[in-house]
Amino acid sequence: MAGHSKWKNIQRRKNAQDAKRGKIFMKLAKDIYVAAKQGGGDQEMNPALRTAVDKAKANNMPNENIDRAIKKATGDLDGANYEELTYEGYGPGGIAVMVEVLTDNKNRTASELRHAFSKNGGNLGENGCVAFMFDRKGYIAIDQNQTDADEDDMMLEAIEAGAEEMETTDGAYEIYTDPDQFTDVRSNLEESGFILDTAEVTMMPQTFSSIEDQDKSKMIKLVNMIEDMEDVQEVYHNLDADEETMAQL
């Protein structure tokens, strides 16, 4: 994954989030809702909920919003019933795209996604059409400015914490884990005093694909259109893009 720093892409996305904060809070609330619905409202007993809450707090989501989402899931408040789904398809130039959604109306969501794909030179596919091109991984990034550890020390710390792999990129140590071990690795690093800039379970492409410039423009529009949808939580793709293109995604 060298040359495809997820940390850099996350930083760019964070810089553009203020204009979309309302939508971001809605997506985070849905994520908390599903985690609490599936595993209960106790963060100590529900690692998925703790991860969702940590992500919400990192985005400055108010505590009352977090509590409301948990209470809706546990039945203490009335609310919509959300379903967690993954859609797959191909973007312009055959780029593999996976979209994770939380929706209370999957017919509406499928229709909106189908429109976005067709409008931007892609097509929504069947389940499984591109999933084999991605691996689910735990991902942790530590800003090098937030630690005194050099690369060798950080590598040892990551291994001792239970990580599978670590890469040093421009500005960050990027650590990858088995998704089942993610919570333990994160806790071990936090207990060792490290400040985690990013910590999440995500989908990593096994390989990256290049496309023509005209298709890159369509791909940018497709990803941005999908991310603006209220039901969409995450968008993953395997586009091999330069710095300028990634800054627009």
Q: Are 231 and 109 in contact (CB under 8 A)?
A: yes
Q: DSSP code of 172?
A: E
Q: Are 95 and 117 in contact (CB under 8 A)?
A: no
Could you tell me which residues are beta bridge partners of residue 232? Answer: 101
181: pLDDT strictly greater than 90: yes
Residue burial 56-76, b: 16+ Cβ < 10 Å; e: rest: beeeebeeeebebbbbbbeee
The rounded distance, in Å, linking the Cα atoms of 56 and 62 is: 8
Q: DSSP code of 146?
A: G
**Residue-range domains of the chain with CATH:** 6-74 (1.10.10.200)
243: pLDDT strictly greater than 70: no
Mean pLDDT of 240-247: 68
Instruction: Give the length of the chain.
Output: 249
- pLDDT tens string 118-151: 999 999 999 999 999 999 999 999 999 999 999 9
First to last CA, the chain: 18
Mean pLDDT of 158-169: 93
Token code pair at residue 228: 């603006």
Percent residues over pLDDT 70 in the chain = 88
Q: Which of 11, 16, 4 is nearest to 227 (CA)?
A: 16
Q: Is the pTM of this model over 0.85?
A: no
Mean pLDDT of 79-97: 90
The rounded distance, in Å, linking the Cα atoms of 189 and 36 is: 25
Q: Are 205 and 96 in contact (CB under 8 A)?
A: yes
Q: DSSP code of 209?
A: B
- pLDDT tens string 16-25: 544 466 678 8
The rounded distance, in Å, linking the Cα atoms of 220 and 200 is: 23
Mean pLDDT of 164-190: 92
Could you tell me which residues are beta bridge partners of residue 237? Answer: 97
Q: Give pLDDT, residue 99.
A: 96
Token code pair at residue 20: 């979309």
